[in-house]
Amino acid sequence: MADLEYSRGLHDLGGGCHAWLEPDGSWGWSNAGLVVGDGESLLFDTLFDVPMTRAMLDGMAGLTGSAPIRTVVNSHSNGDHWFGNQLFPDARILTSAATAEEMQHSGPELIMGLRDSPGGPGRFAREIFAPFDWTDCDPLRPTDTFSGRRDLDVGGVEVQLLELGPAHTAGDSVAWVPSAGVLFTGDLLFIGGTPIIWAGPLRNWVRACDTMLALEPAHVVPGHGPVTDGAGIRQVREYLLFVEEEATKRFEAGMDPVEAMHDIALGRFGEWAESGRIAQNVMAVYLELDPTLEKPDTREVFARVATMEGFRD
């Protein structure tokens, strides 16, 4: 939003809600949210490594000193939203059951394996992950899970957790604070960057956008990028429908997914960062149209995105 500076640190959104922003929002540079009530707080997402999360906690200390973080919510299973969990050994760590299951296979060893891959994919992973430090990273797993919806009382502030996945991942959840009109979305929203469909189905992500729009939030804190409002949600929705239409045309024309991902002209969406993620997004549509296709693993996805971004063997 034009009235909120996109700068690193804590930003007051009113009603006890705060956004912790990590520009520039590219790979690994994710946001978090803080809801401060009477005598306790809720943290929505931790960051990609322990040093970043510790710096965030230092930046929040003026608020959490008298209202300590009792609950940590992880929006989904990507490491940049939970690898800092180990700094909260006494907190309840809460996420959707689907996310908790997916976390079993998406710990730091997955990221390190990508970084150590040969050729273009490895160089790509080493470049985008270079700023992060996973020395002694041993993130805590959830201590509590939910499915569908969970309502919380955070020191007198109502927080609604809504599971809107599978979409970006298997179990994406958002946190809605109705009294403040603030929505924390995790990676159901990338603002200024390109969304990536790790799980799908695509139409379920569109429905998630419709659900978020129906809340009519005043402030929306995305997983990556600056704070936005309904306009940002609509932009992501438009991109998803664009990908669905363009990929479907090429599927019906007999193109394979690799041909299709290179053939699509992104137009205005090509101005968004990480545009190479079109590789995985096209594949997600193809897998819906033909479930017999072999689903690429994470290494293969990175290889295809790396190629689209110019990192070749």
At 121, is the pLDDT very low, low, confident or very high (cuts 50, 70, 90)? Answer: confident
Query: H/E element holding 185?
Result: strand 182-190
Strands of the 17-21 sheet, one edge to the other: 9-14, 17-21, 32-36, 41-44, 69-73, 92-96, 144-146
From the number of C-beta atoms within 10 Å of its C-beta (0-12, 13-18, 19+), residue 7 rates as exposed
At 120, is the pLDDT very low, low, confident or very high (cuts 50, 70, 90)? Answer: confident
Mean pLDDT confidence for 68-85: 98
pLDDT, tens digit (0-9, with 9 covering 90-100), for 86-114 = 999 999 999 999 999 999 999 999 999 99
Assigned token pair, 290: 């033909």
pLDDT, tens digit (0-9, with 9 covering 90-100), for 220-264 = 999 999 999 999 999 999 999 999 999 999 999 999 999 999 999
Position 2 scores a pLDDT of 46
Q: What are phi and psi of 190, to 5 degrees?
A: -115, 125
Mean of the per-residue pLDDT values of the chain: 96
Position 3 scores a pLDDT of 64
- Alpha helices (H) in the chain, listed in sequence order: 50-64, 97-103, 108-115, 119-129, 202-214, 230-252, 257-263, 278-289, 298-308
Position 4 scores a pLDDT of 84
Report residue 76 CA to chain centroid gap. 7
Position 1 scores a pLDDT of 52
**Exposure on the CB side of residue 284, measured as CA atoms within 13 A:** 27
Mean pLDDT confidence for 148-166: 98
Give the end-to-end CA distance of the chain in Å, rounded to a whole number.
40
Q: Quick one: what percent of the chain has pLDDT higher than 90?
A: 94
Residue 275 pLDDT exceeds 70: yes
CA separation for the pair 177, 244 (Å, rounded): 31
Query: Is the omega angle on the peptide bond into residue 201 within 30 degrees of 0, that is, cis?
Result: yes
pLDDT, tens digit (0-9, with 9 covering 90-100), for 20-76 = 999 999 999 999 999 999 999 999 999 999 999 999 999 999 999 999 999 999 999
CA separation for the pair 288, 47 (Å, rounded): 32
For residue 168, give the DSSP letter: S
Position 312 scores a pLDDT of 73
Assigned token pair, 248: 């479907």
From the number of C-beta atoms within 10 Å of its C-beta (0-12, 13-18, 19+), residue 84 rates as buried
Residue 274 pLDDT exceeds 50: yes
CA separation for the pair 237, 231 (Å, rounded): 10
Mean pLDDT confidence for 309-313: 80
- Alpha helices (H) in 170-228, listed in sequence order: 202-214
Mean pLDDT confidence for 205-209: 98
Kindly report the pTM of this predicted structure.
0.97
Residue 130 pLDDT exceeds 90: yes
CA separation for the pair 60, 54 (Å, rounded): 10
* CATH code for the part of the protein at 9-308: 3.60.15.10
Q: Which residues contact 92 (CB under 8 A, 6 or more apart)?
A: 70, 71, 72, 143, 144
Residue 271 pLDDT exceeds 60: yes
Residue 131 pLDDT exceeds 80: yes
Lowest mean pLDDT among 72-81, 215-224, 269-278, 296-305: 296-305
Position 313 scores a pLDDT of 67
